[in-house]
């Protein structure tokens, strides 16, 4: 006869086994795991434009892009920045542009609905700088309405208060090639030659090609921009040729052997635009490699063709290892061993851009992608170290040396406020976000609570140590970041549920007795935002409106994050939120699909808060498995 406890535990065990089987079946023969990284349609729209500009559109299945864009249009007529937002202006304008470039007439019903949506939100004049930039390349917007980017910026020394290395890695790798394009201000003839006059609410003849004023000190940048434009009109631009040459050399030097630049599509698209502006031959090896890299980011199905903004094999593989081991798979299981050895091969022992602000550091980190030797990051490196620590490999000595190198690199990357950023050290000149070009507010890479928490979790989970003074600095920083409600902001995941979960895991491992009060407040906040269905969810709009902290439809990944945080808090304080945890586990078990997977439509990854979001297609699988595995460990 079954007891009540066995009835409760069996569905949990079955859910775990089913999830493990599902993930194991998806491992690549080379050893890694890698799933789609989904964003909004602007990335694909911009790729269509690039191929039209280069004349390579006939050699790619771009006719499938039309079907993809049509499938993503919402009832409002617009295209979304993230799932469920109803439509966003700039994304919609770029999708409309791409459809026109693909030959869809303005009279098409889908285009008419899109036009009504766009005009109702202010039209092209209200779009972001990067949308206007892409339109300017084909004469659908005037270059006068874009900020100037003087090429001599490339020549500013590294110790000067303003230089390219004060930009975040992603802004730097995307901006350097644009110094060339903004200098040349090309207008390309494409086939078909389109106009977008119908998308100007005020009428194209009434457009004021000017940068918007804020009415505060940041308008000083507009005055500077007017000076730059005057110098351009007079053809008086000091060191123009030298700046262009330096930018071109920088681009060439940072291309991976695989053709990638920085492992992200914006840097890759912009670099290809720069090469086009410099009149590179289409058959130049640099160009051919660049297009091959773009093709590697494409996903083609029977009906659709779309472009990913990035690829995440290192990140996905490390998390799957942790999920499998946390849920009971043996650390020396063949799949774990193969994945661990693949990760070891991906450690980067080259010096990258990070060394400019961190000359004392030595290589030993991991990047997010297959290849990205110039831009490894702290978050990936910490997660990989924890994954390797959980695995038992044939050559444990080799593994330990790799982890030691990683620890030394991470320790050298600590920022002055005490925390860690993603890619650089002390990359925190916030005024850069106020320049007209920086309207995505993503020009810098300051230390954040979630990345700092990951480092501390790594130290605690792997029994590693750093200088005690620096450890205290990091903890002080982290505690000061706790919000009045008890939660923590999530920079790289949506949002406060993500940040709070990570910090609770860190504090529970580093010094649970000392930080019981802070841990308890964080756990109490998590319990307070549990949904009636037992799950947790948080909308991306919480970045725009803090009153939406922890509010949103339940998702498997965010439910898992909340559970992981509550389990850590319970282990640290001895006070488990049993009812909330049980309801959360029941939510995961009941929403699991027959094949062992989960599904969520919502975007729970963050690129740039308020401006760019991601759906990691594996988040809905490995985070629930971690949560269920850790829950099983405390109830068994």
The answer to whether 621 touches 597, Cβ cutoff 8 Å, is: yes
Residue 219 has pLDDT above 70, yes or no: yes
Residue 180 CA from chain centroid, whole number: 26
- Output 212 or 83, whichever has higher pLDDT: 83
- What CA–CA distance (Å, rounded) separates 91 from 85? 12
Whether the CB-CB separation of 361 and 244 falls below 8 Å is answered with no
Tokens of 328: 């009971």
Q: Are 335 and 324 in contact (CB under 8 A)?
A: yes
CA distances 80 to 87, 266, 535, Å, are 4, 19, 25
| Helix-then-strand count for the chain, H and E | 22, 5
Tell me: pLDDT of 105 over 70: yes
DSSP 108: S
User: What mean pLDDT comes out for the span 289-293?
Assistant: 97
Please check whether residue 78 is in contact with residue 90, taking contact to mean a CB–CB distance below 8 angstroms. Answer: no
Question: How confident is the model at residue 2, as a pLDDT?
Answer: 42
The pLDDT-based confidence of 226 (bands split at 50, 70, 90) is: confident
Q: Which residues make beta-bridge pairs with 264?
A: 310
Would you say 541 and 85 are in contact if contact means Cβ atoms under 8 Å apart? yes
pLDDT at 1: 35
Give which of 27, 13, 72, 49 is closest to 132, Cα–Cα: 49
Among the options 379, 380, 389, 426, which is catalytic? 379
Find the helix packing angle between 4-25 and 313-326, rounded to 10°: 150
Size of the chain in residues: 636
529's CB contacts (< 8 A; 6+ apart) are: 497, 536, 538, 549, 550, 551
Burial class (CB in 10 A: 0-12, 13-18, 19+), 9: middle
CA–CA separation, 606 and 495 (whole Å): 8
DSSP state of 597: -
Phi, psi of 612 (to 5 degrees): -155, 125
pLDDT for residue 3: 42
In Å, what is the CA distance from 185 to each residue of 66, 133, 142?
28, 10, 10
**118 confidence band (pLDDT: 50, 70, 90):** very high
Q: For residues 409 and 362, what is the distance between their CA atoms, to the nearest angstrom?
A: 6
Residue 396 Cα distances to 324, 341, 400, 401, 618, angstroms: 19, 11, 6, 9, 28
Q: Report the Cα–Cα distance between both ends of the chain, in Å, rounded.
A: 19
User: CA torsion angle for 613, 619, 620, 623 (degrees, to 10)?
Assistant: -140
* DSSP summary character for residue 52: H
505: CB partners within 8 A, 6+ apart: 453, 457, 564, 565, 568
Determine the Cα–Cα distance for residues 217 and 146; give it in Å rounded to an integer.
20
Across 189-215, average pLDDT: 93
Q: What is the tens place of the pLDDT at every residue in 533-582?
A: 999 999 999 999 999 999 999 999 999 999 999 999 999 999 999 999 99
- Encode pLDDT of 472-509 as tens digits: 999 999 999 999 999 999 999 999 999 999 999 999 99
With beta carbons less than 8 A apart as the criterion, state whether 225 and 137 touch: no
What local confidence, expressed as pLDDT, does residue 222 receive? Answer: 82
* Cβ atoms < 10 Å from Cβ of 392: 16
Whether cis (ω within 30° of 0) applies to the bond prior to 432 is: no
Q: Is 108 exposed, middle or buried (0-12, 13-18, 19+ CB in 10 A)?
A: middle
Distance of CA 563 to the CA centre of its chain: 23
Q: Is 284 a catalytic residue?
A: no
Q: What number of other Cβ atoms are within 10 A of residue 540's Cβ?
A: 24
Alpha-carbon gap, residue 436 to 31, rounded angstroms: 45
Tokens 């997660």 identify what position? 383
Q: Give the residue-averaged pLDDT of 7-13.
A: 73
Task: Output 185-190 pairs: Cβ under 8 A, ≥24 positions apart.
Answer: 185/136, 185/143, 186/137, 186/276, 186/277, 187/136, 187/137, 187/138, 187/139, 188/52, 188/53, 188/137, 188/138, 188/276, 190/49, 190/52, 190/53, 190/101, 190/138
Q: How far is residue 334 CA from its own chain's centroid?
A: 31
Q: Show the DSSP H helices in 462-555 as ranges.
A: 468-480, 496-510, 516-528
Average pLDDT, the chain: 95
Contact between 326 and 625 under an 8 Å Cβ cutoff? The reply is: yes
Positive or negative CA dihedral for 546, 319, 574, 633?
positive
Report how far residue 490's alpha carbon sits from residue 495's, in angstroms, rounded to the nearest whole number.
4
* pLDDT tens, position by position, 310-354: 999 999 999 999 999 999 999 999 999 999 999 999 999 999 999
pLDDT at 4 exceeding the cut of 70: no
The per-residue pLDDT for range 586-626, each reduced to its tens digit, is 999 999 999 999 999 999 999 999 999 999 999 999 999 99
Res. 8 pLDDT band, cuts 50 70 90: very low
Please check the confidence at residue 368 and state whether its pLDDT lies above 80. Answer: yes
Average pLDDT (186-211) is 95
């Amino acid at each position: 006869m079954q007891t009540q406890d066995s009835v409760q535990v069996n569905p949990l065990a079955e859910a775990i086994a089913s999830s493990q089987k599902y993930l194991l079946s998806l491992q690549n023969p080379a050893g890694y795991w890698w799933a789609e990284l989904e964003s909004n349609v602007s990335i694909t729209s911009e790729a269509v434009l690039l191929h039209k500009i280069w004349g390579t559109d006939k050699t790619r299945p771009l006719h499938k892009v039309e079907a993809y864009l049509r499938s993503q249009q919402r009832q409002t007529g617009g295209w979304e920045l993230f799932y469920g937002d109803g439509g966003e202006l700039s994304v919609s304008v770029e999708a409309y542009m791409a459809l026109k470039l693909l030959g869809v007439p303005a009279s098409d019903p889908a285009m008419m609905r899109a036009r009504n949506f766009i005009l109702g939100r202010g039209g092209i004049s209200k779009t972001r700088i990067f949308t206007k930039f892409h339109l300017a390349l084909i004469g659908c917007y005037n270059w006068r309405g874009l900020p100037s980017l003087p090429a001599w910026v490339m020549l500013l020394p590294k110790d000067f208060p303003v230089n390219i290395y004060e930009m975040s890695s992603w802004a730097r790798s995307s901006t350097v090639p644009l110094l060339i394009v903004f200098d040349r201000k090309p207008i390309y003839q494409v086939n078909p030659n389109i106009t977008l006059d119908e998308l100007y609410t005020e009428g194209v003849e009434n457009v004021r090609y000017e940068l918007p004023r804020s009415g505060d000190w940041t308008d000083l940048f507009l005055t500077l921009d007017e000076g730059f434009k005057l110098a351009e009109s007079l053809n008086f631009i000091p060191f123009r040729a030298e700046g262009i040459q330096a930018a071109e050399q920088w681009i060439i030097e940072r291309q991976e052997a695989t053709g990638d630049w920085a492992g992200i599509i914006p840097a890759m698209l912009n670099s290809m635009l720069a090469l086009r502006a410099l009149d590179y031959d289409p058959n130049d090896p640099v160009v051919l490699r660049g297009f091959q890299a773009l093709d590697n980011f494409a996903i083609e199905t029977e009906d659709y063709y779309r472009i990913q903004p990035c690829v995440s094999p290192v990140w996905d593989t490390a998390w799957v290892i942790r999920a499998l081991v946390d849920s009971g798979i043996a650390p020396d299981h063949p799949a774990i061993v193969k994945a661990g050895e693949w990760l070891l091969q991906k450690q980067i022992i080259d010096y990258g851009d990070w060394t400019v602000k961190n000359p004392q550091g030595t290589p030993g980190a991991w990047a997010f992608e297959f290849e990205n030797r110039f831009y490894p990051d702290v978050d990936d490196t910490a997660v990989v170290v924890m994954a390797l620590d959980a695995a038992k490999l044939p050559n444990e000595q080799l593994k330990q040396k790799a982890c030691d190198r990683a620890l030394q690199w991470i320790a050298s990357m600590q920022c002055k406020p005490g925390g860690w950023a993603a890619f650089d050290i002390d990359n925190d000149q916030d005024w850069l976000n106020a320049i007209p070009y920086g309207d995505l507010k993503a020009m810098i890479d300051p230390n954040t609570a979630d990345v700092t928490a990951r480092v501390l979790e790594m130290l605690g989970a792997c029994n590693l140590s750093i200088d005690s003074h620096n450890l205290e600095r990091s903890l002080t920083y982290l505690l000061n970041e706790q919000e009045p409600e008890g939660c923590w902001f999530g920079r790289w995941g949506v949002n406060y549920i993500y940040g709070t979960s990570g910090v609770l895991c860190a504090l529970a491992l580093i010094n649970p007795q000392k930080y019981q009060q802070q841990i308890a407040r964080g756990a109490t906040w998590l319990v307070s935002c549990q949904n009636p269905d037992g799950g947790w969810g948080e909308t991306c709009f919480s970045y725009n409106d803090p009153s939406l902290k922890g509010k949103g439809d339940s998702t498997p990944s965010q439910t898992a994050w909340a559970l992981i945080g509550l389990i850590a808090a319970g282990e640290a304080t001895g006070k488990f939120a049993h009812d909330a945890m049980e309801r959360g586990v029941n939510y995961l078990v009941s929403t699991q699909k027959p094949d062992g997977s989960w599904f969520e439509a919502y975007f729970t990854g963050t690129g740039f808060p308020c401006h760019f979001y991601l759906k990691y297609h594996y988040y809905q699988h490995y985070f629930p498995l971690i949560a269920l595995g850790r829950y099983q460990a405390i109830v068994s």
